[in-house]
Structure 1
Amino acid sequence: GRAGVSLATLLVLADGRLPAGGHAHSGGLEAAVAAGRVRDVEDVGEFLRGRLATSGLVCAAFAAGACARTEKCFDLDAGLDARTPSAALRKASRAQGRALLRAGRAMWSMPAIGRDPHHPVALGALAAAAGLGPLEAAVAAAHGAVTGPAGAAVRLLGLDPYAVHALLARLAPDVDRIAARAAARANDPVDELPAAGAPLLDIGAELHANWEVRLFAS
């Protein structure tokens, strides 16, 4: 770890047991499973790699940016709106951001960043409040981009959890790479931050939002 940065604090922030509602979201996996695009561990791996390279990179860059400039998060929030074509995904992101801030305020002194910020903005602000830097914020965001859907895959497909965690272990270097790439952009103007799109996730989210019965909120 870098001097002055607590790795234990990063683990608290990235812990899937943090009471911020992350377990209620599949990161688009439920829609992909229903569409028949994800059926086994190999498919889950491909889904996670694609998600990490697109929405994972964007979330990591915006989390790093929010951590680097907590007092100027409002433009980042608007930038994420512009990068999220799906209204359902915007709603899910803000719901997760709101829940994360609620959990964060119980642990650290949080600045005012708006009532319902997007999840990556809330994550970056929380990382800063915890004494972490942009790289750690990016790591937490990139990590969450794959662990959330991976956990959902076990529930949706009845997969072997050992096999799924082995997959996450193999993806760890990719998570590190994406996080480092995102953190290097932390101080870029909002319009120059990554804008990698994932149209199937957007389409799936809109379809998923209209289901009468579903296991996950998104």
Structure 2
Amino acid sequence: MTTSGRLAMLALADARFPGGGHVHSGGLEEATHRGVVTRPEELREFLFGRLHGTGELAAVFAAAATHSAAGGAGRQYWLRFDAELDARTPSPAQRDASRAQGRGTARAGRVAWPSSALDELLAATARPHHATVLGVLLGGSGNGTPRDAAAVAAYLALSGSASAAVRLLGLDPFAANAAVTELGPELDRVAERAADTVGDDPADLPAPSAPALDLLAEAHQRHHREEVRLFAS
């Protein structure tokens, strides 16, 4: 990987990148509200579920988007791609959160790594899913491989919730980050599996899911309308 590619990958995985990820807990706020997650051990279990549900789905589509952007996919392809990711995200609240982060990341990425692939994606949908944007930013600019994009997407599924845990539960930041690093081997396996599917048609891409996270997302959205919450999701 070139130096510019490595920097792009690190920047996209950084919580300070202005993609809006800092306002999303990935369902953790609702889980803490219900008493499901109260300790570092429970946080690790929650993150394991996120990695193999939402995280793996994001990794699959980020990897595929990287491959397709590098190959010059056009508007019609991205319309189909977007519809397939929608179909694998049954929770409206999860879709809203993904598209909100996608739009924020696309706005920042358009300045940092402009490309015709990103223009094609945004011509197809003004609010693309976050995973799609991650892949297009790395693939369209030539700054990353499908596996790189998968790793970034999977990592972000963990890091956002771990960071939220410090604010929501007052956990020791070291314990919260240890819960993420312990899942390193699992993250590698998720990224490798995602990279193995990049040649598939969007309709044939895997559809990993986590119904409990979908239910938490829907409950959080309802409660967010009724009372002030720290996080948007």
TM range (shorter): over 0.9
Residue identity in the other structure for 1:213: V
Counterpart in the other structure of 1:39: 38
- Comparing 17-26 with 4-13, greater Cα deviation is found at 4-13
Deviation of 1:4 after TM superposition, in Å, equals 8.4
Q: Does 1:143 align with 2:155?
A: yes
Deviation of 1:74 after TM superposition, in Å, equals 2.2
Q: Which residue among 104, 110, 119 is the counterpart of 2:130?
A: 119
2:2 and 2:159 mapped to 1: Cα distance? 27
Deviation of 1:197 after TM superposition, in Å, equals 1.5
Q: Which structure 2 residues correspond to residues 40-59 of structure 1 after superposition, within 5 A? A: 40-59=39-58
1:133 and 1:83 mapped to 2: Cα distance? 23
Q: Which structure 2 residues correspond to residues 56-205 of structure 1 after superposition, within 5 A? A: 56-70=55-69, 71=73, 72-110=77-115, 111-112=118-119, 113=121, 114-130=125-141, 131-205=143-217
2:5 and 2:103 mapped to 1: Cα distance? 25
Q: Which structure 2 residues correspond to residues 5-20 of structure 1 after superposition, within 5 A? A: 6-20=5-19
Counterpart in the other structure of 1:216: 231
Percent identity reads: 49
2:2 and 2:10 mapped to 1: Cα distance? 16
Higher helix share: 2
2:4 and 2:183 mapped to 1: Cα distance? 24
Q: 1:141 to 1:161 in 2, by over 3 A?
A: same
Residue identity in the other structure for 1:41: P
Deviation of 1:78 after TM superposition, in Å, equals 0.6
Aligned length: 217
Residue identity in the other structure for 1:65: A
1:5 and 1:73 mapped to 2: Cα distance? 26
| Cα displacement string for residues 108-139 of structure 1 (whole angstroms, at most 9, x for unaligned residues) | 11322021101111111111134211111101
Residue identity in the other structure for 1:190: P
Contact 1:57–1:194 under 8 Å retained in 2: no
CA RMSD of aligned residues (A): 1.5
1:66 and 1:196 mapped to 2: Cα distance? 17
1:47 and 1:76 mapped to 2: Cα distance? 28
1:73 and 1:139 mapped to 2: Cα distance? 21
Contact 2:47–2:180 under 8 Å retained in 1: no
Structure 1: runs of 5+ lacking an equivalent: none
Structure 2: runs of 5+ lacking an equivalent: none
